[in-house]
Amino acid sequence: MVRKKVMSEQEYLNRKGVGSSLSGVMDDRLRSVRQLRSTRGEDKFHRENKKAIDSYQAKRNQSKREYQRLVSSGKVRPPSNAEKAWKTATAYLKTELYKQQDAC
């Protein structure tokens, strides 16, 4: 019997680099706001940001379709509720251990 790889959709998206629903493009671009001094520069700024956001969303949607394809082909399976609970519990325990180490 071949074991299927267990991976949630969010884990798959994170591996592909598109885990966040927001692209974060605006964070970097707002640091240099020289373009925003004129109307023409502002329009260009918004056009470029829209293009970057649309590109990011297209990559994210493509990765979601790839994940669904992997699930339907049987190469990957989503985690069960018990596996999700186990992962959450172990993450909580790790957090508590770090807090205890910092307190010492």
The per-residue pLDDT for range 33-74, each reduced to its tens digit, is: 666 778 888 888 889 889 988 999 999 999 999 999 999 999
Beta strand segments in 1-104, E: 5-6, 76-77
User: In this predicted model, which residue has the larger pLDDT, 37 or 17?
Assistant: 17
Is the pLDDT at 102 greater than 80? The verdict is no
Q: What pLDDT shows up at residue 76?
A: 92
Greatest alpha-carbon span in the chain: 65
pTM: 0.72
**Which of 17-26, 43-52, 58-67, 88-97 ranks highest by mean pLDDT?**
58-67
| Residue with the two structure tokens 């994170």 | 14
